[in-house]
Amino acid sequence: MQPLQIGVCSWSLAIPDLERALATIREELGLGLVHLGLLDDKYKDRDRLLRTVEDAGVEVSATAIGFVGEDYSTIQRIAATGGYIPDHDWENRKAKSQAVADLTRELGVRQMSVHIGFVPHDPRGRGYAVMVDRVKAIADIAGERGLSLLMETGQETADALMAFMDAVGRPNLAVNFDPANVILYGVGEPLEAVNVLKNRIVHVHMKDANLSARPGTDWGEEVVLGTGQADIPRLVSRLRALGYTGPLVIEREAGNQRLADIKEAVRLLESLVG
């Protein structure tokens, strides 16, 4: 992987068939780097998935875990259903995380990302301690396989995320930074978040958004990269100034012309990184 290499999330094209999605990324976008989404049950067909990725001729920057039952319809619903929050599904989600960690290692990839779920606000409460213990467990699963576990930004302020990571206290725990999520969830300003998280950031999603009229209560609006409030040129410049050399992975999760939007994002990023 080259420094600041441009990639794309495999799910961004909204093409259910992974083989066709990877072919589109390689042939129509001209990209050789993919954040590989293992968001449904396709990860269970290990041999086919390994063969599909190998035949596609793309490099995987990280794998991404998602869980059945996560509901992104509102901020309130994902707060209740996201990541490792639901007690009733914790063991199932832990088991999937372990299976994806095994697959990640077999792919020769060193990073696995996940939305861990909303961290409870009160660090003295039982819910906070439960989340600390659960993320420790997942980080240890990853660490035993030589992997870093990447927490995606969005639900918490950067300061709260830093404090939580310190509470977990695992050296292989890092950040997949998504500037748009900071805006979509209404928890801060992306450039300020970068200044706080600094070298904890090892993987970056290139996604853009505008605030809602009620930040933190209603979703903001995801928009084409470079047209929103994330200030992508300044953000990339700041990341470089801080010494970031990881990938810049385009994520597009809205709109009905994904391929065209991603091509526009590629053009913008190429103009910024050369």
Tens digit of pLDDT for each residue in 23-33?
A: 999 999 999 99
> What three-state secondary structure class fits 160?
helix
Question: Residue 154 corresponds to which tokens in the numbers above?
Answer: 């969005």
Burial call 37-72: b when 16+ CB within 10 Å, e when fewer: bbeeeebeeeeebeebbeebebbbbbbbbbbeebee
Most distant pair of Cα atoms in the chain: their distance:
51
Whole-angstrom CA distances from 52 to 9, 78, 100, 107 are 16, 31, 16, 11
CATH number of 6-273: 3.20.20.150
Tens digit of pLDDT for each residue in 223-265?
A: 999 999 999 999 999 999 999 999 999 999 999 999 999 999 9
Tens digit of pLDDT for each residue in 124-143?
A: 989 999 999 999 999 999 99
Q: Which helix or strand (DSSP H or E) is residue 164 part of?
A: helix 158-168
Tens digit of pLDDT for each residue in 84-129?
A: 999 999 999 999 999 999 999 999 999 999 999 999 889 998 999 9
Q: Residue 34: beta bridge partners?
A: 8, 60
Q: Would the CA dihedral through 89, 92, 254, 173 be positive or negative?
A: positive
- Whole-angstrom distance, CA of residue 16 vs CA of residue 256: 15
Q: Quick one: how far is CA 19 from the chain centroid?
A: 21
Best CA proximity match to 58, nearest among 112, 115, 108 = 108
Contact between 119 and 152 (Cβ < 8 Å): no
pLDDT of 81: 96
**Residue 191 binned pLDDT confidence (cut-offs 50, 70, 90):** very high
